[in-house]
Amino acid sequence: MKGVAINETTIIGDDGKYYKFSFEDVRSGRPIGGERAAFRPDGAFARDVFVIADEGEKRATKDVRSEETKAALKESAAFDRARMLGIASGIVPAVIKIYAYFIASYGGLALQISDNLAVISAALLTYAALGGVARLAHSDDLHVNYGKAMIVMFVAHVTATLASYMADAAHPLAKLVAVIALLLLGYVAFVWGKVFFELARLTRNGLFRVYVCMFFAGELLWASGVLAVFGFFLLVASFFIYIAAWVKTDKVGEEKDAGLFIY
Ordered mean pLDDT values, 10 residues apiece, the chain (263 residues): 75 76 62 71 57 45 56 81 96 95 89 92 96 87 91 92 89 92 93 94 93 94 88 95 94 61 43
What does the chain come to in residues?
A: 263
The dihedral of CA 115, 117, 119, 125: what is its sign? negative
Confidence (pLDDT) at 24:
60
Can you give the pLDDT at residue 19?
76
User: Cα 19 to chain center, whole Å?
Assistant: 36
- For the stretch 232-238, contacts whose Cβ atoms lie closer than 8 Å and that sit 24 or more positions apart, written own/partner, are 238/211, 238/214
Report the candidate in 196, 192, 204, 198 with the shortest Cα–Cα distance to residue 249: 204
Specify the pLDDT at position 181: 92
Q: Are strands 2-5 and 17-20 parallel, antiparallel or unpaired?
A: unpaired
Q: Which amino acid is at 170?
A: A
Q: What is the crossing angle of helices 67-98 and 108-136, to 10°?
A: 160
| CA-wise closest residue to 136 among 85, 92, 193 | 85
At residue 15, the pLDDT reads 76
What's the predicted TM-score (pTM) here?
0.70
User: Residue 101 has what DSSP assignment?
Assistant: I
Of 119, 142, 261, nearest to 195 by C-alpha is 142
Whether residue 185 contacts residue 153, with contact meaning beta carbons closer than 8 Å, is answered with yes
Distance CA 252, CA 215 (A): 23
pLDDT, residue 46, reads 54
Tell me what pLDDT residue 145 has.
Answer: 94
Neighbouring CB atoms inside 10 A of 146's CB total 24
What pLDDT shows up at residue 191? 94
The closest alpha carbon to 49, from 74, 90, 18, belongs to 18
* Structural contact between residues 223 and 235, judged by C-beta atoms closer than 8 angstroms: no
Predicted local confidence at residue 255, as pLDDT: 62
Distance CA 175, CA 81 (A): 45
Contact 26, 58 (CB under 8 A): no
